Amino acid sequence: MGDERKQSKHLVLIASPFQGHMTPMLQLGSVLHSKGFSITIAHTKLNSPDPSNHPEFEFLELFDNFLAIDASAHFTKFLELLNNNCKKQLQDLLIQKIQQSNKMMMITIIYDNIMYFAEEVARNLNLPIIVLRSCSASYMPAFLALPKLHAQGQFPVQDSIRDKFVPELYPLRYKDLPFNNTSSEVVQEIIALSGRNRIPSAIIWNTMDFLENSSLTKLQKHYKIPIFSIGPLNELAQCPSTSFLKEDTDCISWLDKQAPRSVIYVSLGSLATMDEKELAEIAWGLADSNQAFLWVVRPGSVKGSDWIEFLPSSFLEEVRGRGLVLKWAPQKQVLAHFAVGGFWSHCGWNSSLESISQGVPMMCWPFLGDQYVNSRYLSCVWQVGLELECLERNAIVIIIRRLLGDDEGKEIRQRAINMKEKANCCLWKGGSSFNDLNNLVEFILSN
């Protein structure tokens, strides 16, 4: 562990204010700290991590001038402003750090891909730089194909081709493309953003070789720089809570009282939003399924409402004792609980990896960005989940019964359990992620 080379190397990790990005960055910090490196987490004031949960890190706060994330229509503008606001501050803080430290300290920057201002800072200060990708590898070829599809008039996706396969991206259909439900204006902005010249010296990917080998091979050819796939970080890291919202841990004692694999856990992540009608369909679908459920409804996730106050009292009466609705769950603990038999998810990559790591079969209902690709891979390629075709109560009941009930559900569960074992094997001595982590450590030390 703590040899001199590692002690003289300081890693500055640039985290982004999204829950799904902050979590793997903090996990990566813990993993690299356990390998003997000293770690600074540079983070925005918006959605900052709780330093008391991570006494092993030093923290650098960047004042981003934002009060909230605008993940809707002006997302790319938000990213641009975020990057502009943080650039000079990081550079000044790093210069200060270098001047204050002894001459032997060498810094490597590891940045979240959406905090791309870090590239310019690294270039200006002549520091090595590595990017952390917290999405699936399978998403990236689809994302990289967007400019060509756009030029061919196939993106944004027209209704007439939504169900057709995209040539060269099989088994993705047009409706599985990232950002497929986004407006034409935003699509053009996303494409312009993706065309920026990115020059990290290596990529860290939160995935496993056995799961995404063919996508990783494609990406290796595309980027022509080392790619270290060291996931699943959620299992590798010994990290306390990384949640921005308070986790309601009372749900664990409620789960303790349920029968093994009887509960469907429902959580649609930190960004998805819906209207009251859609939430009501979920509510009545869960009620009509007659299955026990644990349902996270994030405050503010229903447009025009604070929480679930608009649901009729007959809903809560009908599901009393069988259903629990909460604002934010300790998700890793929930997925590891014996009572959980299925996970209705938006297929964010962290949630997908957390579910895979626990062998929990999934019900897939993507909302935005990379989630469409993840959903397709989970249901069609890895076959550890079922796709929900529409957000309608009867369709929900049918899928829940298929997932938790009959022979089909048992087969999916068995595949999920097999996948869990393979995912764990990656982290053991000699496993692909174990080896890539050691390669990453060597790479950091030699650059």
Kindly list the residues in this chain that would bind ligand UDP in the complex (CB under 6 A): 18-20, 23, 243, 267, 269-271, 296, 328-329, 331-332, 346, 348-351, 354
The alpha carbons of the chain give a radius of gyration, in whole angstroms, of 22
Residues 6 or more apart whose CB falls under 8 angstroms from that of 372 comprise 175, 176, 177, 178, 180, 347, 366
Q: Which two tokens stand for residue 367?
A: 């909302």
Dihedral of CA atoms 375, 380, 384, 386 in degrees, nearest 10, equals: 70
What does the DSSP assignment read for 287-317? HHHT-EEEEE--TT-BTT-SSSTTS-HHHHH
Q: Closest CB to ligand UDP among 18 and 155?
A: 18
Q: How far is the CB of 354 from ligand UDP (least distance, A)?
A: 5
The gap from C-alpha 255 to its chain's centroid, in whole angstroms, comes to 25
Q: How far is the CB of 312 from ligand UDP (least distance, A)?
A: 24
CA angle 406, 164, 167 (to 5 degrees): 115
Q: How far is the CB of 297 from ligand UDP (least distance, A)?
A: 9
Q: Closest CB to ligand UDP among 121 and 247?
A: 247
Residues 6 or more apart whose CB falls under 8 angstroms from that of 149 comprise 155, 166, 177
Q: Closest CB to ligand UDP among 332 and 413?
A: 332
Q: Closest CB to ligand UDP among 40 and 47?
A: 47
Q: Closest CB to ligand UDP among 37 and 382?
A: 382
Q: Closest CB to ligand UDP among 333 and 424?
A: 333
Q: How far is the CB of 388 from ligand UDP (least distance, A)?
A: 17
Longest dimension (CA), the chain: 68
Q: How far is the CB of 22 from ligand UDP (least distance, A)?
A: 9
Q: How far is the CB of 247 from ligand UDP (least distance, A)?
A: 6
CA angle 29, 33, 39 (to 5 degrees): 65
